[in-house]
């Protein structure tokens, strides 16, 4: 107890000690070197953040610069003062308490400074490579997927940067650890403690004054600026602050456990669900063609005098083509599971890594069809273990899954019996071989005279767009040069890269045509074909390449075609549609009611929500973390949760999404922000609270109120 009392009194008296009483002053040149390093880091962070401000926001640059400078200076001065106080404490522990305690304090100081060093270095590298600082979501993404293809991608796309980082980071960390351990009682870059205190309090007064000026001004322009500057300071200014806030966001998810949902709007899981006795009078085969990164503008597109997708164009003319079809996410790990389950992918604030024992209810399309005697298969070229997607997609009702995880496709080709077995996994599968496996499986089912459902997932169109069709050179010039990455390549060659992508898409169209021709030649004319992309693909529209980014139309909008004689009439459907609506819409044509687990709707039903109230939602947790919605068919609103930016576009007047209306149409922006928050809160509350997901099915998506938008 006496030691505790002595320790407490020592803490209280630290500020009254004379300068240098506990700290052995380091040489002035060492302090100068530290100041120089901090100055360059300070200038770099400030410059990058202000460049971001100027790129995204209109006006307010001078005020943003003033606030950024003040806040960043206060943040770093606070860290330096904290380091100086901790240094004094370590010195006292070493001299007055116990040498081992002092050793522990020095070790702790070295570990903390080394951790900060790693976060800052990795964040700066990520800022260069991805345009954003390191956060907890990206860290978890790397940990989950490093053994599922991420490492191979990093080695292939950023090899030399990765090698340099792997050499520099351990060596520099050891140096930082050693230096900090040796000088743990000399962390006094601000000079004397008295000067440090004065400096800290001066900046504190300045910072509080600026903050109060934001709070007390109530003009609409000031409110809008306040939102922007708070987001700017939180997410774009400093890598350490950004990472700390992402950790805080992860732990504050528990707030949803105490949020209440209106139970009258939820369907109890205890209520028995049954299908009409008249359902499934016919049992057509159902084939889902899922195409990686399939843009929504490819149907009907002609390039260099050649139809890009002639076979899909014929399907679109014969069936129903949904011209406003959107994925629920802009990347595969969230979009793939959302389609067969008819569920929005937002379940957590941060990255969803699916687990086999996830407690949440789900009903996939093959769970519905299996009781009617259907054979079921999921044959894919891509890695379904990415983020644990296979854990979500695999249910007892799925007879076969073949993906690109662990075994070479040659094993399947050499051992056809595996095609009729249980789950088989393969690695790096070209789409040509995926199509062959799908035809083999469908041929067996046709000979058995058994109806079947199959998803054929084709991935040649993923960056770097390597077609498995021989001589895939329809569109020229083409090719992805060495050094180009998924995240960045020279804008000057974007049309060359686009041609490479279109060659891969054209090759996929040929393979789909071959599979359709096989079914017709086999007499399986009673077949429903559904074609869609898991998401789109950007070629520097809105300054973004590839996908897994903000839900602009090039990466969020995709293709959706439903074709089947006697099931879908030839028509063009302009009603806003999410891919989570695909399964309920197909099953409705067979007389099946939507399962209460579904969040999608039958978009061809005469009872569908009116256009002015219709909302479809997006959730992204790839290169960015973002949420958004499309309301009334043309108002698109989304928020970048990592950077705090907000975007509003009127697609009826601004198809290319170049004019951000979040300030000029602030009333609509605030209404849609509120609508988005209601949906987001309902999703996270449901999936975070066992009181809801154990008793109820997922909440139905929110619509606009009867008044619609102003």
pLDDT tens digit sequence for 27-69:
455 555 666 666 777 777 777 777 766 665 656 777 777 777 7
Distance separating alpha carbons of residues 223 and 63, to the nearest angstrom: 14
Q: Tokens for 2?
A: 């006496």
Structure tokens given for 536: 């789109």
* Eight-class DSSP state of 268: B
DSSP 523-545: T--SEEEEEEESS--EEEETTEE
Other Cβ atoms within 10 Å of 48 Cβ, number: 18
Angle at 40 between CA 68 and CA 113, to 5 degrees: 90
Same fold, 289-310+324-446+459-481+501-521+587-605 and 609-710: no
- Bridge-based pairing of strands 325-326 and 577-578 is parallel
Q: What are phi and psi of 219, to 5 degrees?
A: -65, 150
Q: What is the mean pLDDT of residues 244-266?
A: 69
The backbone region for 332, taken as left when phi is positive above 0, alpha when psi lies in -120 to 50, beta otherwise, is alpha
Q: What is the mean pLDDT of the chain?
A: 82
If we measure between CA atoms, which residue out of 508, 40, 128, 470 comes closest to residue 298? 508
Which residues are paired to 375 by β-bridges? 452
What are the angstrom distances between the C-alpha of 613 and each of 437, 598, 705, 706, 710?
A: 44, 19, 7, 7, 12
Number of Cβ within 10 Å of residue 122's Cβ equals: 18
> Is the pLDDT assigned to residue 601 strictly greater than 50?
yes
Burial class (CB in 10 A: 0-12, 13-18, 19+), 595: buried
Which residues, 6+ apart, have CB-to-CB distance to 48 below 8 Å?
A: 127, 236
Please state whether the peptide bond connecting residue 477 to the residue before it is cis, i.e. omega within 30 degrees of 0.
Answer: yes
Give the lowest-confidence range in 88-97, 234-243, 251-260, 318-327: 251-260
Secondary-structure percent of the chain, ordered helix, strand, coil, rounded to 5? 50, 15, 35
User: Measuring CA to CA, which residue among 658, 419, 451, 654 is closest to residue 544?
Assistant: 658
Asked whether the predicted pLDDT for residue 19 surpasses 50, the reply is: no
Asked whether the beta carbons of 660 and 636 are under 8 A apart, the reply is: no
Name beta bridge partners: 646. 639
Strand, coil or helix: 283: coil
Nearest Cα to Cα of residue 642 among 240, 51, 54, 136: 136
pLDDT at 206 over 80: no
Exposed, middle or buried: residue 540 (CB in 10 Å: 0-12, 13-18, 19+)?
middle
Helices (H), 146-192: 151-157, 159-182
Taking the C-alpha atoms of residue 461 and residue 432, their distance in angstroms, rounded to an integer, is: 12
- pLDDT category of residue 638 using cuts at 50, 70 and 90: very high
Question: Is pLDDT larger for residue 195 or for residue 500?
Answer: 500
Confidence class for position 503, pLDDT limits 50, 70, 90: very high
In degrees and rounded to multiples of 5, residue 199 shows phi and psi of -60, -45
Decide if 405 contacts 424 (C-beta within 8 A): no
Going by C-alpha positions, the residue among 499, 477, 481 that lies closest to residue 490 is: 481
Secondary structure class of 402 (helix, strand, coil): strand
Q: b/e map of 402-439 (b: 16 or more CB within 10 Å)?
A: bbbbebebeebeeeeebbeeebbbbeebbbbbbbbbbb
DSSP secondary structure code for residue 418 in this structure: G
Which helix H or strand E contains 226, and what residues bound it?
helix 220-235
pLDDT at 315 over 50: yes
d(CA 349, CA 54) in angstroms, rounded, equals 28
- Examine the pLDDT at 191 and tell me if it is beyond 70: no
Sketch the domain layout of the chain as residue ranges.
22-248, 289-310+324-446+459-481+501-521+587-605, 609-710
The dihedral of CA 285, 286, 292, 297: what is its sign?
A: positive
Residue 127, pLDDT score: 72
201 vs 496, higher pLDDT: 496
Q: At what angle do helices 61-92 and 193-216 cross, to 10 degrees?
A: 140
Please name which of 339, 417, 342, 349 lies closest in space to residue 384, comparing C-alpha atoms.
Answer: 339
Asked whether 403 and 426 are in contact (CB, 8 A), the reply is yes
Q: Are 400 and 378 in contact (CB under 8 A)?
A: yes
- Say whether pLDDT at 253 is over 90: no
Residue 110: pLDDT above 50? yes
What pLDDT is attached to residue 14?
A: 42
Q: Are 372 and 393 in contact (CB under 8 A)?
A: no
Sheet of strand 424-427: strand arrangement? 424-427, 400-408, 375-380, 452-458, 285-291, 527-533, 560-563, 320-322, 571-573
Q: Which two tokens stand for residue 163?
A: 């090698």
Q: How far is CA 41 from the centre of its chain?
A: 29
More confident residue, 407 or 117: 117
Average pLDDT of 562-567?
94
List, as one string, the DSSP characters of 431-500: HHHHHHHHHHHHHHHHHTT--EEEEEEE-TTSTTT--SSTT--SSSS----TT--SS---GGGHHHHHHH
Among the listed residues 539, 567, 566, the one whose alpha carbon sits nearest the alpha carbon of residue 656: 539
Residues with Cβ within 8 Å of 179's Cβ and at least 6 positions away in sequence, in order, are: none
pLDDT one-digit tens code per residue, 382-415: 888 888 888 999 999 999 998 876 444 445 555 4
Above 80 in pLDDT, residue 98?
no
User: Nearest CA to 465 among 456, 454, 455, 475?
Assistant: 475
Say what percent of the chain tops pLDDT 70. 77
Q: At what angle do helices 99-130 and 239-251 cross, to 10 degrees?
A: 100
- For the question of whether the overall pTM of this predicted structure is more than 0.95, the answer is no
Please name the fold of domain 609-710. Answer: Arylsulfatase, C-terminal domain (3.30.1120)
Six token digits for residue 100: 């081992």
Domain 289-310+324-446+459-481+501-521+587-605: top CATH class: alpha beta
Rounded Cα–Cα distance for residues 543 and 272 (Å): 50
With bands split at pLDDT 50, 70 and 90, how would you rate the model's confidence at 115? confident
Is the pLDDT at 217 greater than 60? The verdict is no
């Amino acid at each position: 107890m006496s030691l505790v009392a002595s320790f407490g009194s020592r803490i209280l008296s630290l500020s009254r000690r004379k300068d240098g009483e506990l700290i052995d002053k380091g040489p002035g040149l060492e302090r100068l070197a530290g100041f120089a390093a901090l100055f360059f880091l300070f200038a770099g962070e400030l410059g990058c953040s202000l460049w971001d401000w100027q790129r995204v926001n209109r006006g307010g640059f001078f005020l943003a610069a003033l606030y950024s400078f003040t806040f960043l200076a206060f943040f770093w001065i606070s860290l330096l003062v904290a380091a100086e106080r901790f240094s004094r404490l370590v010195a006292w522990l070493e001299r007055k308490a116990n040498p081992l305690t002092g050793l522990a304090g020095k070790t702790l100081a070295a570990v903390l400074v080394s951790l900060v060093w790693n976060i800052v270095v990795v964040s700066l590298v990520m800022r260069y490579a991805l345009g954003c600082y390191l956060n907890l979501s990206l860290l978890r993404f790397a940990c989950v997927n490093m053994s599922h293809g991420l490492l191979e991608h990093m080695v292939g796309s950023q090899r030399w940067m990765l090698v340099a980082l792997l050499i520099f980071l351990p060596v520099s960390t050891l140096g930082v650890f050693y230096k900090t351990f040796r000088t743990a009682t000399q962390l006094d870059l601000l000079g004397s403690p008295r000067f440090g205190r004065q400096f800290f309090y001066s900046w504190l007064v300045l910072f509080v004054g600026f903050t109060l000026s934001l709070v007390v001004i109530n003009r609409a322009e000031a409110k809008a600026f306040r939102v922007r500057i708070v987001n700017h300071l939180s997410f774009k200014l400093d890598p350490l602050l950004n990472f700390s806030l992402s950790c805080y966001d992860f732990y504050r998810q528990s707030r949803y456990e105490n949020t209440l949902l209106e139970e009258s709007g939820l369907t109890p899981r205890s209520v028995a669900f049954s299908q009409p006795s008249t359902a499934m009078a016919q049992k057509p085969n159902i084939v889902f063609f899922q195409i990686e990164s399939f843009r929504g503008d490819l149907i009907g597109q002609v390039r260099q005098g050649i139809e890009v997708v002639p076979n899909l164009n014929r399907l679109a003319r014969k069936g129903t083509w949904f011209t406003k079809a959107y994925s629920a996410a802009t990347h595969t790990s969230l979009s793939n599971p959302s389609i067969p389950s008819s569920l929005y992918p937002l379940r957590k604030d941060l990255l969803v890594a699916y687990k086999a024992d996830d407690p949440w209810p789900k009903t996939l399309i093959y769970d519905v069809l299996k009781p009617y005697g259907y054979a079921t298969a999921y044959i894919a070229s891509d890695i379904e273990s990415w983020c644990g997607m296979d854990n979500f997609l695999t249910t007892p009702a799925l007879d076969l899954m073949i993906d690109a995880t662990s075994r070479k496709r040659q094993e399947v080709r050499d051992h056809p019996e595996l095609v009729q077995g249980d789950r088989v996994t393969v690695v790096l599968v070209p789409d040509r071989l995926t199509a062959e496996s799908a035809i083999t499986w469908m041929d067996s089912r046709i000979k058995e005279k058994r109806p079947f459902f199959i998803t054929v997932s084709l991935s040649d169109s993923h960056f770097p767009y390597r077609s498995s069709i021989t001589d895939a050179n329809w569109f020229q010039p083409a090719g992805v040069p060495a050094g180009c990455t998924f995240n960045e390549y020279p804008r000057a060659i974007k049309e060359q890269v686009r041609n490479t992508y279109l060659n891969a898409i054209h090759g996929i169209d040929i393979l789909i045509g071959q599979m359709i021709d096989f079914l017709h030649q086999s007499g399986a004319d009673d077949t429903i074909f559904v074609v869609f992309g898991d998401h789109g693909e950007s070629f520097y529209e809105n300054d973004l390449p590839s996908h897994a980014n903000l839900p602009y139309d090039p990466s969020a909008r995709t293709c959706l075609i439903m074709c089947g004689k006697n099931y879908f009439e030839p028509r063009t459907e302009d009603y806003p549609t999410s891919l989570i609506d695909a399964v309920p819409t197909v099953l409705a044509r067979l007389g099946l009611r939507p399962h209460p687990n579904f969040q999608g709707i039958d978009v061809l039903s005469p009872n569908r929500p009116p256009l002015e109230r219709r909302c479809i939602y997006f959730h992204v947790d790839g290169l960015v973390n973002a949420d958004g919605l499309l309301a009334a068919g043309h108002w698109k609103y989304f928020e970048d949760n990592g950077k705090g930016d907000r975007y509003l576009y009127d697609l009826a007047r601004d198809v290319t999404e170049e004019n951000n209306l979040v300030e000029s149409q602030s009333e609509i922006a605030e209404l849609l922000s509120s609508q988005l928050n209601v949906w987001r809160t309902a999703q996270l509350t449901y999936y975070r609270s066992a009181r809801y997901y154990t008793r109820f099915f997922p909440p139905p998506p929110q619509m606009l109120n009867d008044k619609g938008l102003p």
